[in-house]
Amino acid sequence: MRSGVESIGMMITAAAEPTRADKERALQDVLKSQALVRSEQLKNFLRYVCELEIDGRAREIKEYSIGTEALGRPATYSPLNDSSVRRRAFELRSKLDEIYRTELSASPVRIELPKGCYVPVFTLRAPPGETLVPDRPLAAPPAPARLAYWLIAGAALGAGALLGVFGTRFLNQTNPGSEFLREAWGPLAAQTDVLICLGTPFQMTVRAGGFSPDADLPVFPAPPGIEGLFDKTAPRRDGAKLFMRPALNTTTLGALGAVVAASNRLQSFGVQSQILPERTAPLASFRNRNVILVGDPLTSFVALDPTTNRMVIRDQTLPPGSPPAFSRAYAQTGSTEVFGLLTVRPTDAAPGQHRRTLIVTGLSNVGVQGAMEFFASPERMRA
C-alpha cells in the first residue's frame, strides 16, 4: 500500500485527536501571542470557550453565558439588543487567522472558531508532505489494485469536497437570513427548555346518541337547528338525538400548523421542546422557561368590534372606541386578508437567567399559523 501511495506523491499518516495537554498548550500559546497582548476581552472570550470545550462542557457555550461570564456583561444582558459577543467573535476569528499566519505558523495544534458557532475546534496539523486522517484501520484492497484504489479514493474525496462546498452554498442561497433568524429567536434558539403551550378554547362536542357516562363532564341536549349541519359530516342512524359536552383539549388546524412550524424551526436549531395544552400549563409554569404560546383569537389580544360583530386587533394604548389597528379586508375576488400578531417579551425568571416568551395570535387561526410561519422564515426575518 505504501508504494502505491508514494507513487502519487502523498503519505497518509494516521492521527488521533489532540490530547487535553495539546489543547491546553495551544490555548496558552495563543493567549501569549503579540496579536492579543492588548485585547483582554478577546483573551477572556477565547479562554472561556476553550476551557469549557477542553472540560467536555461545550454544550454550555452560549452567547448569553459568553457575554456575562467572559465579557463582563450584566445579568440583564440581552443578545438580541447587544451584539457585543458577535462582534468579539468576528474579531477573534480574524486574530486567530493572523496568529497562525505569522507568530504560530508552525504550531502543531490550531484553534479555530467556525463561523456561526462559538464552540472552538482544535485541529492537528500534518508534518510537511503528509496528510492526516483519523486513526481508524482501512481495509487493504488486493495488491494489484492498490494504486487504482487510492486514485479512486482520492477522486471520491475530491467529489465529496466539491459536493460539500456546493451543497453549503446551495443551502446558504436557499436559506438567506438564517443568522437574523437565530438573532430574532434569541434564547429560544439557544436553550433546550422550550415549552410550546397550545391554546385550547372552550368548545362543545356534538355527538349522536349521547356520551359515555364515565366522563366527569356534563352532557346537554343539542339545540334544535343543527341537525342538518351535523348530518353533513356524520350522518345519524335512525334519527338519533344529538347531545353535546364540553371539549377540553380541542384545537384548530391553524393552531396545529403554528405548532408544527415552531417545532420544526426549534429542531433546526437542535433544540428539543415540550408541547402541552394551555389548561395543563398555567401561567405559573412559564417561570424560568422559554415559552412559545400559540393563542386562540377568541381568548387573546383581539377584541370584538361591536359595530361589525367581527374580531379585530386593537391598540390597547388608545382610548376605547378608537378605530382598530387591524381588521379583516375582503377583496372583490373573494379572498380575505387576515392578520397575525407576534408579541415577544421576557419571561419571569430567576436572577441571572435569560428566558423569553413568544405569544402568537391573530384575527383568525389562519392568522395564527401565518404569524408563526413568518417568524420561522429566514427570508422573512432577513427582510
Domain residues for 225? 203-247
Cβ atoms 84, 73 nearer than 8 A:
yes
Based on the fold, state whether residues 349 and 378 are members of the same structural domain: yes
Residue 229 included in any domain: yes
At 301 the pLDDT is 66
Based on the fold, state whether residues 235 and 309 are members of the same structural domain: no
At 159 the pLDDT is 39
Based on the fold, state whether residues 340 and 195 are members of the same structural domain: yes
Based on the fold, state whether residues 298 and 354 are members of the same structural domain: yes
Please spell the DSSP secondary structure of 359-374, one letter per residue.
Answer: EEEESSHHHHHHHHHH
As given in the structure block, the three cell numbers for residue 353 are: 437567567
What distance in Å separates the CA atoms of residue 178 and residue 95, rounded to the nearest whole number? 25
Please count the structural domains in the chain.
Answer: 3
At 177 the pLDDT is 58
Residue 231 included in any domain: yes
Based on the fold, state whether residues 188 and 114 are members of the same structural domain: no
What distance in Å separates the CA atoms of residue 334 and residue 275, rounded to the nearest whole number? 36
What distance in Å separates the CA atoms of residue 339 and residue 63, rounded to the nearest whole number? 33
What distance in Å separates the CA atoms of residue 325 and residue 312, rounded to the nearest whole number? 8
Sequence-ordered list of residues with C-beta below 8 angstroms from that of 345, at least 6 positions apart, any chain = 356, 357, 359
Based on the fold, state whether residues 53 and 123 are members of the same structural domain: yes
Number of H helices, E strands in the chain: 12, 16
Label each residue of 162-174 as H, E or C: HHHHHHHHHHHHH
What distance in Å separates the CA atoms of residue 97 and residue 137, rounded to the nearest whole number? 33
At 2 the pLDDT is 36
**What string of pLDDT tens digits covers the 383 residues of the chain?**
333 333 333 333 334 578 999 999 999 999 999 999 989 999 999 999 999 999 999 889 999 999 999 999 998 888 877 888 999 999 999 999 999 999 999 999 999 998 878 999 998 875 544 444 444 433 333 333 333 333 333 433 343 433 343 343 333 334 555 778 888 898 898 877 799 998 888 888 898 888 877 667 888 888 888 888 888 887 787 778 899 988 877 888 889 999 999 999 998 888 888 898 887 777 777 888 899 999 888 777 677 777 777 888 888 788 877 888 888 887 777 778 888 899 998 888 777 778 899 999 988 888 999 999 999 998 888 88
Based on the fold, state whether residues 125 and 209 are members of the same structural domain: no
Sequence-ordered list of residues with C-beta below 8 angstroms from that of 208, at least 6 positions apart, any chain = 230, 234, 236, 237, 240, 241, 242, 243
Residue 241 included in any domain: yes
At 360 the pLDDT is 93
Question: Which of 189, 222, 247 is the endpoint of a domain?
Answer: 247
Based on the fold, state whether residues 96 and 234 are members of the same structural domain: no
At 48 the pLDDT is 95
The sign of the CA dihedral 214, 215, 218, 219 is: negative
Residue 158 included in any domain: no
Based on the fold, state whether residues 194 and 208 are members of the same structural domain: no
Residue 106 included in any domain: yes
At 16 the pLDDT is 52
Cβ atoms 376, 262 nearer than 8 A:
yes
Phi and psi angles of residue 4, each rounded to the nearest 5 degrees, phi first: -65, -40
Buried b (16+ CB within 10 A) or exposed e, 240-266: eebbbbeeeeebbebbebbbebbbebb
Closest by Cα among 153, 177, 179 to 80: 179
Based on the fold, state whether residues 77 and 57 are members of the same structural domain: yes
Based on the fold, state whether residues 235 and 303 are members of the same structural domain: no
At 215 the pLDDT is 67
Residue 165 included in any domain: no
Residue 148 included in any domain: no
At 4 the pLDDT is 36
Phi and psi angles of residue 62, each rounded to the nearest 5 degrees, phi first: -130, 160
φ/ψ region of 75 (left if φ > 0, alpha if ψ in -120 to 50, else beta) reads alpha
CA distances to 5, 268, 334, 357 from 265, rounded to whole Å, are 46, 5, 32, 16
Residue 280 included in any domain: yes
Based on the fold, state whether residues 262 and 240 are members of the same structural domain: no
